[in-house]
Amino acid sequence: MSALQEKLNSITAKEPSKWLENAQWRADNAGWLDKSAKIAFKILHELRAKKISQKDFAMQLGLSPQYISKVVKGQENLTLETISKMEEVLGICLVHIPGFSPLSSI
C-alpha cells in the first residue's frame, strides 16, 4: 500500500463528523440559544463600558472564569439565579418580564 493510500485510510478511519447531529441540536435549542446570545452581547457591552474584566466579573459572582467565558460566548443555558446575580453586579436588567414591577408585588 502506498503512503498516500495509508494516509487516506487513516483520515477516513477516524470517527465520522457529527456536524449533522450538532446542526440538529442547534435547531432543537434555537430558542434559548438565541436568548443566551443576546444576553451574552449585553453582558460583554456592559463589561467593556464599565472596564470590568471577565475574570473580575467571575470573582464578583463567585463563578469560574471558564464559566463566564461560556456565558459571553452564548453557550451556557443560564439559570434565573445566575441572571439575577449578573444583573445585580452590572446594575442592569438582562431579562424583562412584561407587566411586572418589583414594587407591585409588595
The domains of the chain, with CATH numbers, are 27-96 (1.10.260.40)
Cell of 5: 493510500
Is a pLDDT exceeding 70 seen at residue 103?
A: no
Q: Confidence band (pLDDT; 50, 70, 90) for 6?
A: confident
Q: How far apart are CA 62 and CA 91, in angstroms?
A: 17
Q: What is the mean pLDDT of the chain?
A: 89
Is a pLDDT exceeding 90 seen at residue 63?
A: yes
- Exposure of 5 in the CB half-sphere (CA atoms within 13 A): 2
Is a pLDDT exceeding 80 seen at residue 72?
A: yes
* Coil vs helix vs strand at 64: coil
* Predicted local confidence at residue 5, as pLDDT: 83
Could you tell me the pTM of the whole model? Answer: 0.72
| 42 CA to centre of own chain | 12
Angle 75-79-85 from CA coordinates, rounded to 5°: 105
**Beta strands in 1-106, from DSSP E residues, in sequence order:** none
Of residues 47 and 76, more confidently modeled? 47
